[in-house]
Each structure stands twice: as structure tokens, then as C-alpha cells.
Amino acid sequence: MMKKFIHIISNHLLMVKYFLRFAPVYFIVNFLFCIYVSFIDMLTGAYSVKYIFNGLSEGKSFKELFLFLGFVSLAMIVRHILGAVSAEYLSATAWVKLKAGMKKLVFEQARKMDLVYYETPKFYTDFVWAAAQSDEKMGEMYNSWCVFVARLSDLIFFGGFMLANDVVLMLFAAVMIVIRFGLNSIIVKLRYKMHIEAKPHERERDYITRVFYLAEYAKEIRLSNMHKTLFKRLKDTMDRIWEINDKTGKKITVLWTVAALSTEGFLDFFIYLYLCFKTLVTKTLKFGGLASLTGAVWNFAYRAGEFINVLTDMGEQSLYVDNFRAFLAYKPEIECQDGMDAPDKPSVISMKNVSFKYEGTDKYSLKNINLDIKPYEKIAIVGYNGAGKSTLVKLIMRLYDVTEGKISMNGINIRKYSTDSYRSVFGSVFQDYKVFAGTVAENVEMNFINDSRRKDIVKALQQSGFEDKLAKLGKGIDTPLTREFSEEGINLSGGEEQKIAIARIFAKKCSCVILDEPSSALDPISEYKLNQTMLMLSEHKTVIFISHRLSTTCMADRIIMLENGEIIEQGTHDELMSMNGKYAEMFNKQAEKYRVA
């Protein structure tokens, strides 16, 4: 039990460290204030009752009582002043700093996580729990810590008063604390088990809740009966959560009842009976002592109950900290790794016997890939959905590490390069690109805007085909995108957003361009113009692009055809067409559709 208690305190001290780091003044002032309040409670309660009652019976002068009450009143005034300063002034800024600090801590750790971790259920259990609850849990843990300090101070002050007057009372209190603590420990385990069982269902509930207020789902929900399916799933999910809570709630109710009967009943009957016996039978306790000890015992018992309850809360919160510790302890194998600087000129990228499978599955997404990409070469990767095209380029960019085999650049394993340096080689646009709630310039630069870069950003937008739209924007590249935070923001069409994303690669100084379906949202004419522009501007760069529209692949120096994670054909467009294989079949099917249209 002591080992567990030490672990709980250790976890809370970890969070105290963060509080001291982000809001030290508020924490220290409030910490001292909690101790001072406990002293005032004992002074104005048990000690004052004893002093006044005994003073009246012993004939103390009015002046003595006046001075004593004046001191007590002054102490109370100081308490209220300190309380106002802490609660109304220091607290307002401290929590802003704390939340900002904790979010930065969590998000910096999230940025270091390997992409493969995002694609596992564990990510949502660990990261989302840690990130979403960091503010709430930090507040809960700080409140618990304050209550812990306050109640511990209460027990010391009131316990010291009781020990000075009657040691037997402390024995009664000790029995009560042991019983209450044991039962509460069982309750902690039950609650934690309940949270673990409910967590998968809560994730499903949160997903359904999220769908109903996200704009991208609004049209489909209103134009279909999908809301009925979602309502049914929500009801089923809530029913499962209710069943888990109901089952655990019944057990906890029984335990709380046993705890109340064994402690409150024990206290109310035996302790008060003992005090009455000393006052009326043995006559070893004066009425002032009876009144003060009665108050002291009641206060000690009440504070002891709260102390045990807060230990229970701290035990539950400690389980969260265990997850938080594990989250912070995550060591990436890919992200933020040190190493050599990558070459800043187009280099040979070589894949030797590369195979890859996602974590938690035995099925290979890529199998035995052997491919050399020469400097300045224009490579097109084609294949049906699920062939492994996007996975291949993610491996090249080292968003994933290969399961088997090796990828090298200039003959050096890419794992030996600094991650940031290696990634700087590539400019990329993926089919699931995102536009952020920032200005046009920020969405192109993907960084802070330096005045010296503004002309380059405008040029990149012109090259991506966004020039006409840009000319209509009153604030130019300073126009905010989306109306998330500004009424002056604009919502772009899918094709316009894609041009913004494509402008990123024109604005970035890189030696290799990777385009995963870069023109899927553009009309055929815009697509043709864009591809022509890309090839012209990428003349001195290596280009790797994925496209479902095989008309664009005709421009490539070499075409790689993937099927079921393997390279089945490669060559120029003419060479593959003359082979009359899978590529030719795929190309002719698309051409036939265009002719029918």
C-alpha cells in the first residue's frame, strides 16, 4: 500500500513540476494559502472555543478576551485578502499560462510521433486522451493537490490539538482512516476498470458527435438518411456505456454505504460516548474542553474523510498520469532524428528488395520493390486503388521505415540522414492535402512569413494557376482562408484549394518533387496547363508523380505500374503500350470512356 501511495504522490509531483514551470507564483502563493487557511480554521474553531469557554469559567479579563478576538479577526481579514488575490487576480493569468504551456508540451510531443503511430488505435487511446484531457486533468489534479495540502494541514493542526488534549481520540480516528482508505482503494480500481471498458465506446460516441458539427459532413447528412444510422449507432454506444457505468455504479454504491456506516456510525456513537464519559463520569474534562474537543473531533473526522476522498481522486488521476508519462516517454524511430545532411542536388534514389506492412497486420502493402530513380528523371507511378502507390512515395520520403530491404540516396541509407535535412529534399502535394485557417501566404509558405519571401509566394501562386483568383482578393496573399476565425475569410473551391497546395512545391527550394494525384480536383484544361508548368519548372529537379488520369503519364520519362504491392511493368508510355499488358489495358479503358463521353 505504501508503494502505491508513493507512486501516486510521485505522479502528482510530476504535474506539480509542470505547474511550477508554467505558473510558479500562483502555485506557491496558493500552496501557502492552503496551509494558512487550515491554521485559521483550527484557531477560529476548536482553539477559540476552548479559550473563550475556559476563559469565562476561569475569570479571564475582558481585555484578554478582547485582544484574543482582535487577533483572530485580524487573521481572518488577512485570510480573505490573500484568498481574493489568489482566486481573482493570480488565478486568471496562471491558468492561461498553464493551458498554453501544457498544450505546447503535448503538441511538441505529438509532432515527434512517427506517422505509423497515428494509424493505430493506440494513438487515439494515448495521444487523444493525453491531449484532449490535459487541461481538464491538470485542473483536477491541481485542485486535488490543494485539497491534499489543506486537509493534511488540517489533520496536523487538529490532530496536534487532539493529541495535546486526549491521545485516545487519535486511536479512534486512526481506525476510521484505515477502514475508509481500504474501501476507497477498491473503489479506485473499479472506476479505472470502468473507464478502460468504456473508452472504445466513448471514442465511437465522440466520432458520431463530431460528424454532426463538421462542415464536410453537413451536405451528405442532409441529403441522405445517414443520420438515422448514426443515431442508431449513437444509441447503441450510449447503451453500452450506460451498462458499464450501471454495473460499476452499483458496486461502488455498496462500498460507499459500507464506508459511511463503518466510519460515521463508529464516530458518532463511540467517540461522543467516550467524551461524555470523561465529562460526566470521570470528570476529567471541563465543558470548555468538551466543546472544543467535540468540534476538533468532528473537524478532524470530516477532514480525514475528505483527505481519504482526495487520495481516492489522486489515485484515479495518477492512472491518467501513467498514460501521460507513457505518452511523453514515446521515443520516435523516424521523426526528429539526427544524422548527416542530405545532398541539396538531385541524387540517385535506390530501393533494394523493399517490402512494407503496416503495424498490426501480416499483409504486405509492398513486396520486394527494386527501383532506381535517376537525378532529374520524371517518374510516373500508376496502378489501381490499393496497389501501394502512395505507400511507396511515403517510404521514399521516410514517413515510414521499410519493413524489409533498404532505401538509399547517393548510396547512403536514408536512415543515416537527419530526418529534417532529408525531408527538405522533397516538395510534395498529397491527394489528402489540407488548407489551414490562416492567410493565403501562410498556407503556401507553411511557416512564418518573411517579407523577403512575399514575391516568391506570389510567383508560386501564379505558377500553380491561382493568379486569376488572387487578383480578385482584396487583401491579396494576406487574405484569410476559411471563416473559422474571421468574417473576412473566404472559402475556396476544391480546385482552388488544390492550387494553393500545389503552390507550396513551387515556393519551396527542393531537388525532388513528389505529386500524389496533384490535379484530381482540376478540370482537364487546368490539369494540362498545370502539368506543362510543372515539367517546365521542374526541369532541373527529379519528379515523382502518381496519377489516375493516364493521359498525364505520357509526359513521364518512365512509368512504374504497381499491382498488389509489386512492380509488374515499367518503361516509357510507348514501350508499355507496345507490350499490351496491364498498363495498356488500363490506358485503353480510360481512353474508351473519354470517347464515349
DSSP letter for 547, please: -
CA nearest neighbour of 129 among 211, 214, 208, 198: 198
Residue 267: per-residue pLDDT: 63
User: CB of 480 within 8 A of CB of 438?
Assistant: yes
Please give the Cα distance from 258 to 382 (Å, whole number).
Answer: 69
Instruction: Quickly tell me which residue has 512509368 as its cell.
Output: 559
**Strand 426-429, strand 349-356: pairing:** unpaired
Sheet holding 512-516, edge to edge: 426-429, 512-516, 542-546, 378-382, 558-563, 566-571
CA nearest neighbour of 43 among 312, 240, 364, 292: 292
- The cell for 128 is 487523444
Residue 587: per-residue pLDDT: 86
Residues of the chain with pLDDT under 50: 596-597
Residue 419: per-residue pLDDT: 92
Residue 522: per-residue pLDDT: 61
User: CB of 537 within 8 A of CB of 566?
Assistant: no
Please give the Cα distance from 325 to 319 (Å, whole number).
Answer: 10
Residue 597: per-residue pLDDT: 44
User: CB of 502 within 8 A of CB of 464?
Assistant: yes
Q: Is the pTM of this model over 0.85?
A: no
* Helices and strands (DSSP H and E) totals, the chain: 23, 10
> How far, in Å, are 336, 422, 490, 519, 536 from residue 426 at the CA level?
16, 8, 29, 18, 17
Residue 562: per-residue pLDDT: 94
SS3 content of the chain, % helix, strand, coil (to 5): 70, 10, 20
